[in-house]
Amino acid sequence: MNNKIKLLHIITHLPIGGAQDNTLYTIELLNKKKYDISLCCNFSGELVERAKKIKDIKLINIPILSRDVNLINDTRAFLALYKIIKKEDYDIIHTHSSKAGFLGRIASKINKVPIIIHTVHGFPFNDFMNFFKKNFYILIEKLLANWTDVLITVSNLNKKKIIDLGISKKDKIYNIYSGIDLKIFDRKNDRSFKKELKLGDNEILIGAVGRLSGQKDPITLIRAFNLVSKKFPDAHLVFVGDGPLRNKITKMIKKLKLTSKVHLIGNVHNTWPVYHSLDLFVMSSIYEGLGRSITEALSCGVPVVCTAVEGVPEIIKNGETGFLAEPRDIEGLANSIIYSLQNLSVAKKIALEGRKFVHKNFDVNKMVQEIDSVYQNHII
């Protein structure tokens, strides 16, 4: 007789990203003697091979599941999820990301799954959206929350936003920080990545790690860097990641005559050597659940400049653990970068305070233990 808890995680697909890392860590580290685990997603993205290497889990591919809104494809993906859930009779279904959260929670509710859990890695709406579109998404989230037993947030500021917007009551919301494997990033200082870029020790390396997408707003960062480079001629900017804005970014770099100073290196599986080679980490997002790359940078003791969006100020307290600027504020972002570079010894001391906060709160083992507790507390 199998007394294991039958658990299904659903996420849209598996590119390099915080939500995907969070999901895979959870599946990797949960006790397989306690849980019978399945992962359902579109088998696309750089992390598919990592998922395939996880022992004692079942992988379910839905090729039609995608981020983009498409009524026909989304209907087909919903029907596929509905059939899987109906057939397998899961005890818990845990969804991640907006699309998988939408389709997965509806299919779970219709199939009367005992426990439905959704992690809010980031909101599907933001302050730069059309008013009507934003409020439509908020309404959808309110409806879905009624069909959800537990909402997990990755920052307390996200939790507060859910409560303030009336999406859900606080008694069903648990905040669990999205953990990282601190052992990976706690390695000895390694400047090899800087040498790979053929940069000298006297040259400054600023870095951004994340998708080249509208959310991350790399265009604002490039424009800010254009101002920074006038004060720091030896400064270089590297983008680690890929995405739909790559061509637009390449054109802008050429237009601003920054070709020799801005480096696009695409996706990197092991990012810790990148962080250890940076003099400053910058994130220019217009919205962000928390910003996993911030915790990775701080765990390496790298000074950080970020936009003050969503859950970011929970980690980056201006002047205490890093420096903040407003989203889409080119001059404000440039000024924060310039100040950090002009006061680099101070910025490094501040980063060490951020590192302490990350080590206390963002260990991946702590995250999985807390998720396990949520599961156990809701098993009927």
Amino acid at 262: V
Quick one: pLDDT at residue 201? 84
Quick one: pLDDT at residue 1? 43
Nearest to 282 by CA among 203, 198, 223: 223
> What secondary structure does DSSP assign to 137-156, as a single string?
HHHHHHHHHHT-SEEEESSH
Question: CA-to-CA distance for 48 and 46, rounded, in angstroms?
Answer: 6
**Tokens at 82, concatenated:** 């509905």
Task: Give the residue-averaged pLDDT of 55-80.
Answer: 94
The DSSP secondary-structure symbol of 113 reads -
Question: CA-to-CA distance for 109 and 78, rounded, in angstroms?
Answer: 12
Q: Reply yes or no on whether the pLDDT at 165 is more than 70.
A: yes
CA atoms within 13 A on the CB side of 256: 22
For 196-213, what is each residue's pLDDT tens digit? Answer: 999 988 899 999 999 999
CA distances to 189, 202, 271, 303 from 192, rounded to whole Å, are 9, 14, 12, 19
Quick one: pLDDT at residue 69? 87
Place of tokens 């426990």: 115
Amino acid at 186: D
Task: Give the residue-averaged pLDDT of 135-156.
Answer: 96
**Tokens at 205, concatenated:** 């390396």
Mean pLDDT, the chain, rounded, equals 94
For 272-303, what is each residue's pLDDT tens digit? Answer: 889 999 999 999 999 998 889 999 999 999 99
